[in-house]
Chain A
Amino acid sequence: MRAVTVRGSDFRCYERVAVELPPGLVGVVGPNGAGKTALIEMIHFGCLGYSPRTTSEAQVVRFGAELLRVETDVAVSGGPVSVEIGYRPGEPKRITVNGAAERSVERLLGRFPVLVFTPDRLRLVQGAPALRRAYFDRVLARLWPAPAAASAEYARRLSQRNHLLRRVRAGRAEPGALDPWDRLLAEAGEQLIAARARLCTRLAGPFAGRLGALGGDPGEDPLRYRPNVEPGRSLEAALIERRGRDIERAVTGAGPHLDDVLLFEHDRDLRLYGSQGEQRRALLGLILAEADLLSEERDEPPLLLLDDVTGELDGERRRLLLEAVAGFDQAIVTTTDQADLGGAHASVLTVSGGRVAA
């Protein structure tokens, strides 16, 4: 997939902008504060309907403006598609795909393989397990929609069971009322555990490869799925066994909502012991591994958006990275210093003061 043109109004620092995006490696070059990250964010928003940087999306509307619009023409394996998105904070987004209204933002995720690295996403490596679960479930949703549905279903069943635990603790319901919820929760939970285990198995090879190519030391097993209940074990049995304690605490204490996925270099857990540089490298490796798996499963290389990746890499690693991303239909890479693009064959867009020039 690649983006062909993006037109935006009132998006971050861009009052009105129209950018032609060439295929292959595209450098977005400009000084700090010029609008490089905003351009990456706009392309992402234009394809997938949400910002990869922030959860308070009202921030992306230009100061003083009430609403923004982004229109993006992309080329996917099925042919050209144009996506138009209008957004006024507090209202549902207006999305059309080739002119037809699209109500669900999530559906864009399944339709357009766009992957993004921004330094904001470092939280994925540094932060709480919930962030990693959400990330891996999103990857699942893109790759295998059917098993991925287990994640949402599991969450619904879990909240029913937790409510019931509270009622049982308060003496307002019988413990026997938990029976069907144990079974239903276990059924969705085991599907989710199996799907995550399969995903981690499939990602492990590409992740080790990418990490090594970026100068890391992946060791034996850099991607470690840590399920709270092992795949193949009965989750229902685990729930029944814990029932007494669960009632006391009124929360469900076993199941995939307590899973984590650890990122390792050699025998160091990068969340706890990684340097900032190692954590960035792991995030980049993970995103490239996701790109590999997505290319393989969908027969179409994704569009890569890479913000501030070159800065911290030394010359050799930078060369390897640029070589690696050259295999994609399009990779849009920001940098303050055009020299960072080295000898790589790249088209350059120059950004300054809310304007973009070829």
Chain B
Amino acid sequence: MSDIEQFRQETRDWLEANCPPEMRQPVRDEGDVYWGGRRAKFKNDAQKSWFEACADKGYTVPAWPKEYGGAGLDGPQSKVLRQEMGRIGARPPLSSFGIWMLGPALLKFGTEEQKVHYLNEIAQGKIRWCQGYSEPGSGSDLVSMQTFGEDKGDHWVVNGQKIWTSYADEADWIFCLVRTDKTNKYQGITFMLFDMESKGVSTKPILLISGNSPFCETFFDDVEVPKEQHVGEINRGWDVAKYLLGHEREMISGAGGGDRTSAIGATMLRHAGELDPMLRADLAKFDVEALAYGAMGEKFLDEMKAGKGHPAQPNMMKYVGTELNKRRHELMMAAGGSRSLEWDSEETGGGKPSRGWLRTKANSIEGGTSEVMLNVVAKRILDLPGA
């Protein structure tokens, strides 16, 4: 048996022994997702034991080095683990902005001390992070942001406002873009990390069209941030910010779902009882796109791991993946008919179809809009002029 097949067998055995049956069911709602953090509570014993087994084995962040809480898996091994988890429908043991966004940025730009400290905390689900990028006047044009950190020797005093900060009211720490030089647009931003319990930090939830309020306005009023709590060089935070966005876009693109992508038409048929011919045709067209995109996700990850592929490719993935996800929910609403309009009925699990459908509309906005993704592809991949 080759090494990789041996690893596959071991992984299968390990999953069999450690992944409880409840954790092999599809995620039904937000409560099924474990985010970790100081205030985290497990929904049930299965969730707890699955999380703990993974954290122990380094499988909350399988590709990270062991000294930072990972399992040190290489590209092919990570793929095998992904495939084997996909095969049994295992839920992610831990979801977090730390894993998807801050972690990769720290691995590239962090000091050894920062890596050992923050990455282990993330891997163990101890600290929940939120992202302080957008401001009321700075969305797509993020680099125009104004939140300012005044230099006070051994610390900064930060003042300003962020907006659309997902889970700011539940997060423990924030990674935050702060202007530290008003005279230099691109080289005047510092990438800071600080505790949301710091004096002067406050949040105000914003209600989404889905009726949930997972994001906030975040205010900084003379917040003191110690000087050592920045990543990368002072005033060079834009490099860190952009690198992190690549990973955020990869995550939102849903690229990892490749092996698990299956045709939705069959599911819709089960739900709806029968499909009218036009809807069936729409579903089939969608399934062609989704299965093709599944292959793209797999190719994208293989290429990334092997250091091939264009560095701006996550932007393409995010554009296509989010547009597809919106289309998927449009079709699900159409297949569900009037039943899927119900906003809080028990049968719909409290309006899951309609709330989920509305939530997906944010996919092509958050983390950079579809239009911005196309701008980046045009400029960086196709090398078009003046883009």
- A-B interaction: no
